[in-house]
Amino acid sequence: MFCSTLYGQLAPSEIAGFDYKVLPSVNTIEVAEYTLALNQEYEMANHALGLHLSYLGRTFSFFDVDNFRDLEEVEESHQFALNLGYTFRFNANWALNATVVPTISSNFGQSLTSRDFIVNFDGYISRYWTKENFNSSINFGLAYGTYLGEPQLLPLVYYFLSKENKWTLTLGFPKTKFSKIFNERHIVSSFAYVSGTFTNISSALFFEGLGDLTNTKLVYNNFDFGFEYLYRIQPNLTASIRSGYAVAGNLRIVDSDDDLLYDFDPNGSVYMSMGLKLNLKYDK
């Protein structure tokens, strides 16, 4: 199950997490992100249900941005997402997965309307293999979401391989990740992933020749790659540190017809991220 707006959803055994990320130089813009996530999964005979609630707050600090009068209206954005996932296992080798993610994505400049809501979803089939200490799967399907900023239908395909208590590999779209498990306290990972948001700017923005426009959209997406270190502080608490480079693909404002109104012309930035994850299901 994937969410197109957040990297690093909680693992099934983790019930809560907090993350803070800073991109200090996206051209002349600094970006700060705050993520809070809650997670619960239910396993039955050949069914699994997942419930994932998340909040993403983003703050843009603009420097030397010309010809844009209402910067304060786009400095903050908020996203609340409810990820509802279902897996049906036909047998030990095949499963069908579906996820629906109703999302509020807005700057909350005015009262909420239907323009502040987006529904992301995906559906895919999984084929599993098990051999000695190795587990693997190939997963393929379709996803409708904001991985690239504006909502669109995209292929979803990835391959997963793990060696018990040694390492895991996920290879595909929207995320590729390799994790080396040194012991129960230390995990080091390298990753590459794409994510994006499509935020309704409900307050009025002034554009030369067009006047004041409401319900424009802030399109933002990037491609991140880097490293992550997980340290289990104690059985139920894990700290995470991530560092890498984010290539900003889009940071622009479009109208209701997706026509370009303003492009902030972003570029790449190094970043640092720190977080905590809570696990109440840990078994020694």
Confidence of residue 9 (pLDDT cuts 50, 70, 90): low
1 pLDDT band (50/70/90 cuts)?
very low
Read off the pLDDT of residues 123-164 as tens digits, 9 standing for 90 and up: 999 999 999 889 999 999 999 999 999 999 999 999 999 998
- Predicted pLDDT at 12: 59
| Domain range summary for the chain, segments of one domain joined by + | 16-278
CATH class of the domain comprising 16-278:
mainly beta
Residue (of 83, 73, 102, 80) closest to 217 by Cα position: 73
Q: What is the mean pLDDT of residues 246-274?
A: 89
C-alpha 278: how far from chain center: 19
How confident is the model over 20-30, as a mean pLDDT? 84
What are the backbone angles phi and psi of residue 7, rounded to the nearest 5°?
A: -80, 150
Q: What is the percentage of the chain residues whose pLDDT exceeds 70?
A: 94
Q: What is residue 236's predicted lDDT score, i.e. its pLDDT? A: 87
Tell me the two tokens of residue 72. Answer: 């304060």
Instruction: Report the pLDDT value the prediction gives residue 11, as an integer from 0 to 100.
Output: 63
Is residue 209 exposed (0-12), middle (13-18) or buried (19+ Cβ within 10 Å)? exposed
Range 90-94 average pLDDT? 94
In the chain, the DSSP E strands lie at 16-26, 29-43, 47-62, 76-89, 94-106, 117-131, 134-145, 152-163, 167-173, 175-181, 186-201, 205-207, 211-213, 216-234, 237-254, 260-263, 269-278
**pLDDT at 282 exceeding the cut of 60:** no
Q: Residues of the chain with pLDDT > 90: what percent?
A: 71
d(CA 90, CA 103): 30
Query: Do 17 and 275 touch, CB atoms closer than 8 A?
Result: yes
pLDDT tens profile 213-228: 999 999 999 999 999 9
- For the cut 60, the answer to whether the pLDDT of residue 118 exceeds it is yes
Higher per-residue confidence, 12 vs 120: 120
> Residue 4 has what pLDDT?
36
DSSP 11: P
pLDDT at 85 (0 to 100): 95
pLDDT computed for residue 209 by the predictor = 85
